[in-house]
Structure formats: C-alpha cells, structure tokens
Amino acid sequence: MKTNILVIGKGGREHAIVWKLSQSPRAGKILCAPGNAGTALDGANIPIDGTDPNNWDRLARTADKEGVNLVVIGPEDPLANGCADFFRGRGFKVFGPSKDAARIEASKVFAKELMRHADVPTAEFRVFDHPAAARTYIETRDYPVVVKADGLAAGKGVVVCKDTAEALQAVERIMVREEFGAKAGRHIVVEKRLDGEELSMLALVAGRTILPLPPTQDHKAVFNGDKGPNTGGMGTYCPAPAGTPELVAETETSVFVPTVHAMKRGMKDERFPFNGVLFAGLMLTNQGLRVLEYNCRFGDPETQVILMRLKTDLVDLFEAVANETLGDFEDGKLVFDPRPAVCVVMCSGGYPGKYESGKQILGLDEAAKLSDVKVFHAGTALKGDRVVTDGGRVLAVTALGDDLAAAKARAYEAVKLLSFPGAHFRTDIADKALKKK
Ligand code: AMP
Ligand code: GLY
C-alpha cells in the first residue's frame, strides 16, 4: 500500500527528507508544510506553517483530506511544543518524539540531569537558578567554562567563554538581561569547557531498538578554519573518519543505550520514552568522548549527507520507527552507499547576522545535470518561475564521490555553477579529515 506523508518544516533537512521519501516506490503523496522551492519540486507544498502550534488544527484537517498516513516532524521547535503528541492524538502515525521526550533538547538542565542519572560521559556541571550563586561558582573554577541558557534559543543560548570575565558577562546576559528570553534565562548550566574535535552521532530510536546512523562532522563556524561566529552549520561530510568503528560502538554502549533506557524507565516517577531520531553532539577529548548536547531530531546539514548515502527505503524506515517495529532493520538491514558524501552550505550575505532575502538564484538547472550531486534547498522560495533566497542558509549542495576528496571536489564543482548576490560559503569543508591522511 502507498503511504501519503506530511513533512513539517522548511529547511535543507526537510528537503533532503522529502527527496529521499520521493524515491520510494511505496511513497504516495509527499507534502511539506510549509516547505521551500526544493520541496515543491520533489513533493508538494502546503501553504501552512506547520511549525506554528496555532496552525496545527488546520493542518491536521488538510492532512485528513489528503489522506495522510504518516507525519514527519523536522525541526526542534514544534517537537518541543508538542507537535508529535498533537498529531498522534488526531490519529496519525508520527515520526518524532513527544513533548516530554523532546526536553532532551529543549532543556539543557533536563539533558544534563538525564546524563548524570544515566551515567553518560559529559562535562562536569552545575545548574543555577540565581545569578549570585552562578557567579561564585564561576569565580572558584580553575578551568574555563561554558554557560548555557536552559531553553531553546535558536542555537544562540550557549556561550563558550575564554575567561572568568566572559563567563560572568554571560550570566549577566542570560539571567539578568534575559537576552535569550525570560524562560531560557530562568535556569542556566555552567559546565567545564572541553577541547577536541566535534562529531555528530545520530541514531533511529523506537521502543528498545537503537539503530546508529553513520558518523558525521559538521562545521559550525561561519568562516574557513573554524573562524567567526557559530551558525546552524556550514557544511558536513559523512562518514567522518574520526568516528572509527570503535568510537561508534562506544557511543552506542556508553551514550545511546543508557540514554534511551533511562528515558524509557524515566526519572522522578515520570516516563518519557523516545521515538524518532536521537542526535548526540560529541566532543572527542583526550580523556575520551563526552556528550555536549542532545538533539531530538535530524541534524541540518547532517541529514543531507546521511540521506544522500542511504540505500534503505526511507518510507519503510520511518514507518518502522512510528510503529515501533524498527527491530526488523537490525543486523545489517540498514544499508548505505559506501561512497562518502560532502555537503557545502551556501548562505545569504551577512548570515549569521542580518541578511536580505529575495535574491534570484542562478545555475540550479546546470547544477542539476551533474551526476552524484543533489542541490538541497534551505532558505528558498518560488517567485513566479524564479527561485529566490528566503533565509540565511540558502542551499545545501551535496555530492557523492569515490573518496572524500572526490566528493568534496564534486560538491564544489556544483557550487561554482550556482550564484546569487552576496552568496558566501566555506571552501574547506571536509579538510579536517583530508589533511589527516
Ligand atoms: P550546544 O547547543 O550545547 O551543542 O552547544 C553549541 C556548541 O557550543 C557546540 O557545538 C560546541 O561547539 C560548543 N560547546 C558546547 N558545550 C561545550 C563545552 N562543554 N566545551 C566546549 N564547547 C562546547
Ligand atoms: N547541525 C547541527 C544541528 O542540526 O543542530
């Protein structure tokens, strides 16, 4: 039987999901709410912003009318607001965790307490609900710290501090001036600053089954050489050689298994089992792996490189997660293209700061002719028959190659064909792994 699917979101991650679903012989209609110019081409857009809780009722009625069987929720905000619970309550199959489980990303305090409870390796930390106590703690540390606002702050609530003065200022900004909002500023986590290489480890989770996806590395800083402010992610490659088979196995036993079991068993008489994709942001330190954070969803742009390599039918996989039959895919039934993938993100001029939208994007047809390349759309929109920019991260140009160097070369070959006024991108995606060779 064909499955009609609704994907919620409008980023590069959602385009990658829509594109991969569209390749399945089992896919019926693939709808995206609200989607972008790319999801409109590989699926069909519904002009309702599904990330806004005010629209869920209307969206559920539209989904009913369209015969949607499965709802896939991309971003963290709707998940943290209970989107999965809402659509499950309306009788849909859903890929995505409940509001309670999404706290693993939505609350840094919850995530750290869960890590402590489950004995997951992470940076030493304390939680504060008052600035005075936080200041005293910071002043008595003999190591640099990171100050984290408790709630979702569009990736901006984390301040990696170089010294005590900067940490004290971060407390001021988050708790006193409430720069990231009153709610996010009520509690903070102060933790030890760690050094090392970062790695994104994702796993599909349903019931007691955990299926790790291949290790991926993101590039968060806006400029080459990891310089400049952090962004949502400027590029990725997969598999990341830093994620050795031993490290992947260790992540499963020391991070995913205890975390998923702790969520299933619960804490303080509450249970919050996880269903969907669990993302552990790791730091590979001299002392071993440490979890920096969890996300309750696919990474962006990690998803682009992972799905570019996925051979297994994504409709089957998402349904297996939603139905808690993911165990059917254990023992090597999850198959990836052996070739590595590289994704380069092209951004609007000024991003991650202020930028303008509405710039025409040229070269999409030419880039589409390259083999082993897929140009995923992120912040794009259709204006008549033109595709224009509509966000900070605009395109996620993704390529496969026989080796990492070839994948990188192919991705940049496509980038060269694409243009819009003000476009900027990093030119060193995957170099960390290439230089080690
Ligand atoms: P988070 O939102 O917790 O992932 O933090 C965002 C980014 O801040 C991470 O990707 C790291 O680059 C950095 N970060 C978070 N925690 C630490 C830490 N304990 N030590 C060093 N860097 C960190
Ligand atoms: N690329 C990092 C994230 O999705 O949070």
Chain-centroid distance, C-alpha 16: 12
Please report the pLDDT score of residue 154 as a whole number.
Answer: 67
Residue 406 has pLDDT above 90, yes or no: yes
**How confident is the model over 168-221, as pLDDT tens digits?**
999 999 999 998 888 888 899 999 999 999 999 999 999 999 999 999 999 999
Protein residue closest via CA to atom 4 of ligand 2: 299
- What is the reported pLDDT for 152? 80
**What pLDDT is stored for residue 267 in this prediction?**
77
Question: What is the C-alpha to C-alpha distance for residues 196 and 219, in angstroms, rounded to an integer?
Answer: 14
- Tell me, in angstroms, the distance from the centre of ligand 2 to residue 129's CA: 27
**Ligand 2 neighbour 35 (Cβ under 6 A):** no
Q: Which ligand is nearest to the CA of 234?
A: 2
* Residue among 200, 216, 238 to mutate when testing ligand 2 (max atoms within 8 A of CB): 200
Could you read off the pLDDT of 116-141 as tens digits, one per residue?
999 999 999 999 999 999 999 999 99
Summary mean pLDDT of the chain: 96
In order of their start, the domains of the chain are 3-96 (3.40.50.20), 130-186 (3.30.1490.20), 197-329 (3.30.470.20), 341-436 (3.90.600.10)
- Residue 155's pLDDT is 64
Distance 363 CA to ligand 2 centre (A): 27
Q: Which of 277, 278, 288 is nearest to 111 (CA)?
A: 278
Residue 411 has pLDDT above 70, yes or no: yes
Q: Which ligand sits closest to the CA of 277? A: 2
Q: Give the whole-number percent of the chain exceeding pLDDT 90.
A: 92
Indicate the pLDDT class of residue 16, thresholds 50, 70 and 90.
Answer: very high
The residue whose CB lies within 8 Å of the most ligand 1 atoms, and thus the one to mutate among 292, 295, 297, is 292
Q: Ligand 2 centre and the CA of 102: distance in Å?
A: 15
Could you report the per-residue pLDDT of 367-405, keeping only the tens digit for each?
999 999 999 999 999 999 999 999 999 999 999 999 999
pTM strictly above 0.95: yes
As a whole-number percent, the residues of the chain with pLDDT over 70 amount to 99
* Shortest-distance atom of ligand 2 to CA 155: 5
What pLDDT, on the 0 to 100 scale, is given for residue 156?
72
What is the distance in A from the centroid of ligand 2 to the CA of 345?
13
Atom of ligand 1 nearest to the CA of 281: 4
What distance in angstroms lies between residue 160's CA and the mean position of ligand 1's atoms?
7
Average pLDDT on 420-424 reads: 98
259 lines ligand 2 (CB under 6 A): no
Ligand 1 is surrounded, with C-beta below 6 A, by 123, 146, 148, 158, 160, 191, 193-194, 198, 220, 281, 292-293
Which ligand lies nearest the alpha carbon of 157? 1
Q: Which ligand lies nearest the alpha carbon of 125?
A: 1
pLDDT tens-digit series, residues 315-355: 999 999 999 999 999 988 999 999 999 999 999 999 999 99
Asked whether residue 421 carries a pLDDT value surpassing 70, the answer given is yes
- Report the pLDDT averaged over residues 50-76: 98
Ligand 1 atom at minimum distance from 155 CA = 2
The residue-averaged pLDDT of 259-267 equals 91
Note whether 426 and 376 are within 8 A (CB).
no
For atom 6 of ligand 1, the residue with the nearest CA is 158
How far is 126 from 300, CA to CA, in rounded Å? 29
Looking at residue 213, its pLDDT comes to: 98
